[in-house]
Amino acid sequence: MAKEYRRIEAEYEKSGQFDRDLNDEHRTFDARDIGEGYSYLPSSFGEKLRRFFLLPVIRLFGSVYLFFGYGFRVKGKKNLRALKGGAVSVCNHAHELDTLMLKIALGCSRTFHTGSYYLLKRGWLGRIFKAGGFLPVGTGVHDLEKLQNAVGTLLSRRKIVNFYPEHALWRRYEKVRPFKAGAFRFAVRFSAPVLPVFIEFRSTRLRRALGLQKKVIMHILPAQYPEKEGAPKARAAELCGRVRAAMIEKYRLVYGREMVLQPEADKGEESQEQKE
């Protein structure tokens, strides 16, 4: 299974399909309806009570599980403390538990997470997701308007709203894939800083001896602020490029090598052949 997964990953990287899920099959039939009447933020007494009891459980058991299961550590907490208000965070989508990791790293009650609408299920699973701070990203204009209003409200309350700008989950993929612009448009729209978070996978002698996977280290980088002048689309694109560059630099520092995506490597080889 792991070999097949890596084969598909290499195929998608070579063809530049960086935003394509390695698992193309998604269950949508049991997704919760987020149409009229759905409130993006916990509003009823029951929802608030559920959130009140759930978050301490996540904080306690999540921290213990991640530490012993994945050797999880957080670096750069000073950059989180430097934030004076709300922020948009972005993270490379490279671990099946990266949302839990982000909640532990950035604060369980402070952090909310965006994700595809079909991840919010009907029944108790969907209620737990919502209590944990899940914000579904729908496909309609009205859905996106409600999401925008929710993000604006959260930022005004000094919360952090996380996006995965790579879109698709590629498990334990170390490189930083190209970004979608959505998160940065929200940041520009609400004049909010973007907090980059980079996931590193580090091998140790002990984990290799025990046959364990690489430990996970989450790096919180300095916040990047949107430009104050210019067209919103251009400002979002500039902010997107600046944030991704910072994460690529962190990749270079922690892995000790330059980051080259396969399509970029192929272009470099073609250019060299033309010169010769």
CA–CA distance, 136 with 145 (Å, rounded to integer): 12
Q: What's the average model confidence in pLDDT over 30-48? A: 86
* Structural domain includes residue 267: no
- Based on the structure, what is the number of domains in the chain? 1
Q: Is the pTM of this model over 0.75?
A: yes
253: in domain: yes
Query: Residue 3 falls within a domain, yes or no?
Result: no
Identify the residue whose tokens are 């459980």.
57
Nearest by Cα to 245 from 265, 231, 224, 263: 224
Domain with 185 in it: what CATH number? 3.40.1130
Does residue 60 lie in a domain region?
Answer: yes
**pLDDT at residue 275 above 50?**
no
How far are the Cα atoms of 95, 108, 109, 174 from residue 75, in angstroms, in the given order? 17, 17, 20, 17
Distance CA 130, CA 35 (A): 15
Q: What is the DSSP letter of 167?
A: -
DSSP symbol at 176: -
pLDDT tens string 221-254: 999 999 999 999 999 999 999 999 999 999 999 9
- Domain boundaries, position 66: 17-260
pLDDT at residue 268 is higher than 70: no
- 3-state SS, residue 137: strand
Residue identified by tokens 């969907």 is 126
Flag whether pLDDT at 276 surpasses 50.
no
Residue 6 lies in a domain: no
Model confidence pLDDT, tens digit, residues 175-189? 999 999 999 999 999
